[in-house]
A and B are shown apart, each in its own frame.
Chain A
């Protein structure tokens, strides 16, 4: 018998409606510690809603979220969110944006800026500390958003389609960097995407959601070796097979 897997996030019976729109129905999910789990599904199936409920930003109509066994109903320091539209403060430099989570927690300026500089370098933005968001490309802005989430040292990172507003070349580079970052940060990632290739490329586990009302339709664990050249993954047989398998399952929902 295999050792029980350590689950850091437990989602139990989550349902949510917006008026007459039923967005999620009875979601039960566990997220294993230290893994990257993707929530994959067509647009409008409730991925963002589920992620924000886990983040404590939206209240569910029914069900509970537990982090490390403790039920939570509001945002907390053990979770950090990366927003689809970056959500940077346009009046603040990259450095202050990255340090903002720590600023809100009352950490001293010098200390929080040291930490922020470290993570700015970690996401490949060294030298851009003094730039304002509008001076940065979309990809760079999202790197700032990611550095901000990393710098508060949360156990769980929640990413809502972080690459959807980033152009194609930068997205590829960013995905590679994320794989590298993951291997040296001992964090749990919950990653929302609507791209099958992206999900298979970066995920340890993929949760497929069905269209409205969102329900868990399938869980896939692609076993892809990501230790080598990231470019090789795209040609890996298992990668291609998994993309195909998911596509066969989702095809029924496409118009």
Chain B
């Protein structure tokens, strides 16, 4: 970012926004927006409350369960679609529709199917995350050099060895990219799911704070959620960088 010809580092520009928030908050310019300092001190207080801690445990548990399910089902499904034409023909259309559909609209359906509880949140994470994992895995499998597969066959690879020692590894860069995007979508899923269900985890907290106009805590919780989403994206990006050494150097 540049301002008046000077390059401003990321942290500095963040600082500018923070100061702006503080000023706008103190001047009471925007309805329901307390100053940043108040929000931050609310955040410090919030993380010490048992209700936040148990909401966080519930939220993380739902998020990770949903993610594990979407990886464990999504990766094999993507590999199947990348390798078997019939599977691709049958499933391709649906995966494409779901990966670009406005899934928030389906969360109420999930509530009917799974009830007003954690299971709905898990289902929302799964529904948001899985499709991009399937699509990227499929693309990765499609890009595997045919001679690598012939190589494995010519040296007598069993079907199991072909999948575990060649296909999975050769498609790994795309699989990881899919998982990273899936995690980001999964965060959306957990947030939207909780907001709609509103009696579980952060959703319940948001509901309480907004109903009682506890805006400092409301914003504190929002910031915590953002930080959590960024942290996850960052972690995955690092894991990807480790695999990149061969992703860019593939023959």
Contact = CB atoms under 8 A, between A and B. Distances in A.
A75 interface: yes
Contacts of A18: none
B148 interface: yes
A134 B249 contact: yes
Given A87-B150, A88-B251, A134-B246, A101 B169 contact: no
B250 A90 contact: yes
Contacts of A77: 156
Contacts, number: 70
Contacts of A152: 155
Interface stretch (A78-86, A228-236, A241-249): A78-86
Contacts of B145: 85, 87
A132 B151 contact: no
A81 B172 contact: no
Nearest to B250: A90
Contacts of B147: 83-85, 87
Contact of A81 (B154, B169, B246): B154
Contact of A75 (B155, B161, B251): B155
B236 interface: no
B172 A91 contact: yes
A105 interface: yes
B151 A83 contact: yes
Contacts of B153: 57, 75
A87 B151 CA distance: 6
Interface in A213-248: none
Given A87-B147, A132-B245, A134-B246, A80 B251 contact: no
B157 interface: yes
Nearest to A79: B154
Counting chain A CB atoms within 10 Å of each CB, which of B154, B165, B170, B246 scores highest? B154
B154 A133 contact: no
Nearest to A160: B147
B152 interface: yes
Counting chain B CB atoms within 10 Å of each CB, which of A55, A75, A152 scores highest? A75
A105 B251 CA distance: 25
Contacts of B156: 75-77, 101, 104-105
Contact of B155 (A80, A86, A88, A134): A80
A132 B245 CA distance: 10
B154 A57 contact: yes
A150 to B, nearest CB: 12
Interface in B14-55: none
The B interface, classified by DSSP as helix, strand, loop or mixed, is: helix
Interface in A116-153: 132-134, 141, 148, 152
A83 to B, nearest CB: 5
B95 interface: no
B225 interface: no
A100 interface: yes
A89 interface: yes
Given A89-B148, A134-B246, A80 B169 contact: no
B152 A104 contact: yes
B154 A55 contact: yes
Nearest to A52: B150
Contact of B251 (A79, A86, A101, A104): A86
A80 B154 contact: yes
A47 to B, nearest CB: 15
Contacts of B246: 90-91, 132, 134
Contacts of A100: 155
B166 interface: yes
Contact of A89 (B150, B158, B166, B245): B166
Contacts of A91: 169-170, 172, 246
Given A104-B161, A132-B246, 5 more contacts: A81-B151, A89-B166, A89-B170, A132-B249, A141-B251
30 contacts: A52-B150, A55-B154, A57-B150, A57-B153, A57-B154, A75-B154, A75-B155, A79-B154, A81-B155, A83-B147, A84-B147, A85-B251, A87-B145, A87-B151, A89-B148, A89-B166, A90-B246, A90-B250, A91-B169, A91-B170, A91-B172, A91-B246, A104-B152, A104-B157, A104-B158, A104-B165, A132-B245, A133-B251, A134-B246, A134-B250
The 6 closest A-B pairs by CB, nearest first: A134-B249, A87-B151, A101-B155, A90-B246, A87-B147, A81-B154
